[in-house]
A and B are shown apart, each in its own frame.
Chain A
């Protein structure tokens, strides 16, 4: 009957394709239409931000190009000097709103992404170290993170900027200081769970070195929750920067970010010249919403408990 005492080599069933985790992830992400819409909007915003110098009718930072006689023109009106239309109007200094928004998006996105990336790198290393080495290393890192997280982010940023002054680099530094603790915490929880898993024990039995186990085995498996947090945090960083600029502590007036544009137009909001605040505000909203839509779907896709 079935006396095959020997082992017949098992031919593995050919799956549909040798699908790497990335391709599986991409197809699951694409299941949500709203998330895809968010992703498209975000992609459009990123393209606009990168191509700002070529897409903008005017360079809003070049004071020579500004004509103060064109100030506070409504959307669609034409320049008195060049005759070109201002699609979204101008602000109180004659700056074309459309160009201002393009360049502002550029700044918002680059500051948001740069600060997130640096904070992520720092938080990742510290969180991994805390989880792997435990003991006093863990206690030290986590208490510092706890203390920092108990202060409102705005407050810390304000204090730092008051001490350091203005400038893109300083804003990024402030945002990094505020954010690293989220990543450290997230990585630490994920690492604490993964550490106990048997593939890590197997790596130890195989006498692999500790750095190798940390970076080649532990780290890649702690990434999914980190990606979700990072995506949401980009939005958070962008809105934080906008708030700081709105309060006048962010970037200098000559390089307006979206926050500053909104601040500029604030005084005119109720006197009918809504476009100076409204359109930058809309651009900011669109950016943050699209990021959040993408992050929501990422969270669902990367959550192992929801696996079907």
Chain B
């Protein structure tokens, strides 16, 4: 492990939505680190705040949402101290994002080469020819056959998996230091997902970029990530190296999530399930958000659970963990 500054350091991030019905604490005191060349998995269900965390790091939060507290440092540089112009330079340059829907990246009325060249020229003062060459290489690297023909096509001429690959190629164009991927394979078939995971893995190894992979699928994280953060109702409830967290989960939610996966249960018998539903984001208080559904809940859970460090590289937010 290098002891230089980590690639990305997030501390105490809080992002709130100020709506008519009240304040929604979408991201509530989130802290984590991403090292160069390593993959961090951000795991959670809908409403856990995982996507919003990614958007906050990218600076893509629009009103009525706002980052209200926290430090985001890229390679030691504090992003909050930058103005919008400087942040825009970073986006697509040093930090890139891949979305669940590739059409959030691709403009349906522009050809692929136009979009890619534009992305290059926005960050580097090179010639068009050179930008085009870069684009061609990027498409090859993500495994798209006959790139010259593809460059001249429009997004609607591609299948969903191809579009996502093009979106990844665009993200990789300027050799970013950090890539944030928000559920990019959730809507894709299993075989296509396998291809994309394999390509992302190879790309990160080659370029040494750091990767944050946001998903609800624990199995994907198991295969891809080095470290994992489990989120619930806007907070990180547990984090650590992926092997430790998945083999010895300590937070009751993590445990329950792992136990409810079908492959962990005897076929035909009822699955181990978590009772109840996630709380409404407007109804959250200081205490542990999981206590209504937790079999290990005690009185102390009504107070804000402290963030502990049960071992060197793990964090845990629970007063009554499963040992």
Contact = CB atoms under 8 A, between A and B. Distances in A.
A4 interface: yes
A150 interface: no
B273 A2 contact: yes
Contacts of B256: 1-2
Tell me the interface secondary structure of chain A in the complex: loop
Nearest to A31: B20
Interface in A1-35: 1-6, 8, 10, 13, 16
Given A1-B256, A1-B259, A10 B273 contact: no
Contacts of B19: 308
A302 B270 CA distance: 43
Interface string A279-308: 000000000000000000000000000001
Given A1-B295, A1-B322, A5-B270, A10 B277 contact: yes
- In the complex, which range does the number of interface residues on chain A fall in? 10 to 19
Interface in B122-142: none
Contacts of B310: none
B272 A3 contact: yes
A287 B189 CA distance: 56
B145 to A, nearest CB: 34
Contacts of A16: 21
Contact of A1 (B255, B269, B276, B280): B255
Contacts, number: 32
Contacts of A8: 275-276
A2 B252 CA distance: 9
B280 A13 contact: yes
A4 B296 contact: no
B276 A10 contact: yes
Contacts of B21: 16
B219 to A, nearest CB: 19
Interface string B265-300: 000011011111100100000000000000110000
Contacts of A3: 272
Closest 8 CB pairs of A and B: A5-B270, A2-B256, A1-B295, A4-B275, A2-B295, A8-B275, A2-B274, A2-B272
Given A2-B273, A16-B21, 18 more contacts: A1-B255, A1-B256, A1-B259, A1-B272, A1-B295, A1-B296, A1-B322, A2-B252, A2-B275, A2-B295, A3-B272, A5-B270, A5-B272, A6-B270, A10-B276, A10-B277, A13-B277, A13-B280
13 contacts: A1-B252, A1-B255, A1-B272, A2-B273, A2-B274, A2-B275, A2-B295, A4-B273, A5-B269, A5-B272, A8-B276, A10-B276, A308-B19
Interface of A: 1-6, 8, 10, 13, 16, 308
Interface of B: 19, 21, 252, 255-256, 259, 269-270, 272-277, 280, 295-296, 322
